[in-house]
């Protein structure tokens, strides 16, 4: 089913017209309500009246994650705090989180986008859906939840952390759909097989997102559970899950482009690229009131293509992600920057500033190992003291990332020293 036929199947001309109209309004809105954008535009001699439609988009300056950090927490909000009804937060590149704010209308628009995505996956009010993304500052849980409620599905807010209960309820409630990360779903499928519940469960649809996954992984999920799996995309800065989703033809993810105007820009020149060209995905939020963003660079690498899909939707599509333009890692659905780990380690006097991160996927679950050099003067001859130190480091890392990491102490000066920009990560997973 197509949730919003008017928007999802609009002709290209009409869509361009709508986007242009919204863009012009947005540029005036941010110019008048966000000091940051006013200054940024003035600095390059750009007036709101210079933007007459989407063809002028390229004239506008980019927004980066660092801009969000520099204006922490509410500096980029375009409305007074009294109009904000919700905030979420995601990992920042350093210790500070990236905070996003939503007005009532933003929450409504978000639910609309998620509802479109869920409909694209064939979910309706007849479904019972378990939302197994984290509920909290992370946008996954509440984002999926509001969309599921909007389409009228029976929504079960599982959140994360209790696989046994999830499977029990999946069986007892006869749940037909689940929203979670793809790696977690594979992990669940193993547990379901172990408990010999494969023939008992009624699951038919999975909406997976919050981390990159391959076409092979989708097929693996589909065959192991005998279900259909769909890829949902989003990021908190832009909104959360629901920015794009793929339909049953799996020929790219349809973007809710009446809300989020996408561009692909060249990684080096930052110039806009045409269809089927690999570059960095950039979004301009067309309808957001709380935290409107102009040309926000997601740093996700992909390509974009226009044309009518077999499903009938005309909305522009993005391909599977090919990687990241920065060093951000997505571990168990959580965004992690090596710099966050570094910041946590620098705060500990016992360890040196050198570290190495090893990410792997074992039994379908991401593992994070951090190798740390302990300063010689902090070594002891007792295992107990070393274990205490290991726990202390693990705790600091957990506080910084919200993730458990395995800490491996290594000999002083044993980690490779790098000149200039450090290469601190070995990612053994096959994500792209």
Partner 1 sequence: MVAKQLSVFIENRQGRLGEVLAVLKENGVNILSLSLADTTEYGLLRLIVNDSQLGKEMLSKEGFSTIVSDVLVVKIDHKCGSLQGLLTILSKENINVEYMYGLSLDGDQASVVIKTSHPEKAMEILKAQKISTLTNEDLKDM
Q: How far is the CB of 149 from partner 1 (least distance, A)?
A: 46
Pairing mode of beta strands 317-318, 128-131:
unpaired
> What is the DSSP secondary structure assignment for residue 272, as one 8-state letter?
B
Number of residues that bind partner 1 (CB under 8 A): 16
Among 167, 239, 359, 374, the residue binding partner 1 under the rule CB under 8 A is 374
Q: How far is the CB of 58 from Zn ion (least distance, A)?
A: 28
Q: How far is the CB of 371 from Zn ion (least distance, A)?
A: 44
> What is the DSSP secondary structure assignment for residue 63, as one 8-state letter?
B
For residue 202, CA distances in Å to 159, 256, 406 come to 20, 30, 36
Number of residues that bind Zn ion (CB under 5 A): 4
CA nearest neighbour of 371 among 413, 324, 420, 329: 413
**Bridge partners, residue 336, by sequence:** 329
Task: Write down the residue that tokens 């003067």 correspond to.
Answer: 377
Cβ proximity to Zn ion, 247 vs 368, nearer residue: 247
**Bridge partners, residue 207, by sequence:** 179, 230
What residues numbered 262-321 form the site for Zn ion, per CB under 5 A?
309, 311, 313
Q: How far is the CB of 411 from partner 1 (least distance, A)?
A: 6
For residue 257, CA distances in Å to 9, 230, 261, 300 come to 11, 19, 5, 17
Kindly indicate which of the ranges 14-22, 115-123, 217-225, 406-414 contains the residues binding partner 1, using the contact rule CB under 8 A: 406-414
Q: How far is the CB of 347 from partner 1 (least distance, A)?
A: 22
Residue 209 and residue 218 in contact, taking contact as beta carbons nearer than 8 Å: no
CA nearest neighbour of 111 among 70, 139, 145: 145
Among Zn ion, partner 1, none, what binds residue 379 when CB lies within 5 to 8 Å by partner kind?
A: partner 1
410 binds partner 1 (CB under 8 A): yes
Kindly indicate which of the ranges 212-220, 228-236, 240-248, 346-354 contains the residues binding Zn ion, using the contact rule CB under 5 A: 240-248
Cβ proximity to Zn ion, 178 vs 309, nearer residue: 309
Residue 351 and residue 374 in contact, taking contact as beta carbons nearer than 8 Å: yes
Among Zn ion, partner 1, none, what binds residue 372 when CB lies within 5 to 8 Å by partner kind?
A: none
- Helices (H), strands (E): how many in the chain? 11, 21
Cβ proximity to partner 1, 154 vs 410, nearer residue: 410
409 binds partner 1 (CB under 8 A): yes
Token pair of 150 as six digits: 């909007």
Task: Write down the residue that tokens 């690498």 correspond to.
Answer: 301
What residues numbered 376-395 form the site for partner 1, per CB under 8 A?
376, 379-383, 386-387
Instruction: Work out the angle at residue 132's Cα, subtended by the Cα atoms of residues 168 and 228, and round it to the nearest 5 degrees.
Output: 85
Cβ proximity to Zn ion, 128 vs 256, nearer residue: 256
| Whole-number Å distance between alpha carbons of 201 and 205 | 12
Among Zn ion, partner 1, none, what binds residue 374 when CB lies within 5 to 8 Å by partner kind?
A: partner 1
Kindly indicate which of the ranges 26-34, 56-64, 71-79, 403-411 contains the residues binding partner 1, using the contact rule CB under 8 A: 403-411
Cβ proximity to partner 1, 308 vs 388, nearer residue: 388
ω into residue 73 within 30 of 0, thus cis? Answer: yes
The pattern of x and - marking residues 196 through 235 that bind Zn ion according to CB under 5 A reads: ----------------------------------------
Among partner 1, Zn ion, none, what binds residue 219 when CB lies within 5 to 8 Å by partner kind?
A: none
SS3 85: strand
To which H or E segment does residue 397 belong? helix 383-401
Among Zn ion, partner 1, none, what binds residue 376 when CB lies within 5 to 8 Å by partner kind?
A: partner 1
Residue 205 and residue 230 in contact, taking contact as beta carbons nearer than 8 Å: yes
Among 247, 286, 372, 401, the residue binding Zn ion under the rule CB under 5 A is 247
Residue 316 and residue 52 in contact, taking contact as beta carbons nearer than 8 Å: no
Cβ proximity to partner 1, 195 vs 350, nearer residue: 350
CA nearest neighbour of 333 among 142, 230, 124, 181: 181
Among partner 1, Zn ion, none, what binds residue 247 when CB lies within 5 to 8 Å by partner kind?
A: Zn ion
Contact set with partner 1 (CB under 8 A): 374, 376, 379-383, 386-387, 408-414
Contact set with Zn ion (CB under 5 A): 247, 309, 311, 313
């Amino acid at each position: 089913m197509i949730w919003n036929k008017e928007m999802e199947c609009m002709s290209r001309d009409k869509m361009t017209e709508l986007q242009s109209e919204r863009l012009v309004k947005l540029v005036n809105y941010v110019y008048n309500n966000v000091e940051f954008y006013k200054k940024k535009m003035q600095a390059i001699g750009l007036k709101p009246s210079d933007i007459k439609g989407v063809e002028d988009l390229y004239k506008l300056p980019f927004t980066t994650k660092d801009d969000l950090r520099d204006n922490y927490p509410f500096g980029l909000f375009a409305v007074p705090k009294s109009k904000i009804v919700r905030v979420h937060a995601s990992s920042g590149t350093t210790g500070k989180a990236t905070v996003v704010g939503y007005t009532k209308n933003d929450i409504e628009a978000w639910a609309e986008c998620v509802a479109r995505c869920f409909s694209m996956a064939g979910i309706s009010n007849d479904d019972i859906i378990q939302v197994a993304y984290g509920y909290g500052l992370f946008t996954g849980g509440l984002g999926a939840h509001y969309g599921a409620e909007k389409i009228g599905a029976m929504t079960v807010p599982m959140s994360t952390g209790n696989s046994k209960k999830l499977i029990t309820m999946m069986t007892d409630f006869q749940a037909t759909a689940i929203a979670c990360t793809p790696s977690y779903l594979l992990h669940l499928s193993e547990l379901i097989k172990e408990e010999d519940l494969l023939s008992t469960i009624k699951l038919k649809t999975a909406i997976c997102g919050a981390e990159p996954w391959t076409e092979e992984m989708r097929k693996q999920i589909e065959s192991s559970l005998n279900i259909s799996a769909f890829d949902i995309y989003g990021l908190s800065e832009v909104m959360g899950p629901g920015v794009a989703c793929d339909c049953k033809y799996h020929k790219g993810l349809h973007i809710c482009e009446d809300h989020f105007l996408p561009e692909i820009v060249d990684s080096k020149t930052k110039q806009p690229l045409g269809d089927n060209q690999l570059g960095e995905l950039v979004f301009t939020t067309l309808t957001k009131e709380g935290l409107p963003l102009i040309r926000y660079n997601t740093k996700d690498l992909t390509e974009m293509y226009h044309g009518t899909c077999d499903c009938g939707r005309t909305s522009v599509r993005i391909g599977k992600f090919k990687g990241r333009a920065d060093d951000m890692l997505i571990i168990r659905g959580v965004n992690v920057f090596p710099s966050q780990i570094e910041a946590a380690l620098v705060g500990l006097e016992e360890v040196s500033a050198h570290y190495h991160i090893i990410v792997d996927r074992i039994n379908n679950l991401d593992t994070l190992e951090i190798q740390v050099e302990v300063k010689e003067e902090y070594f002891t001859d007792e295992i107990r003291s070393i274990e205490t130190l290991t726990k202390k480091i693990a705790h600091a890392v957990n506080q910084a990332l919200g993730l458990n990491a395995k800490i491996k102490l290594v000999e002083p000066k044993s980690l490779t020293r790098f000149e200039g920009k450090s290469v601190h990560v070995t990612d053994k997973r096959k994500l792209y």
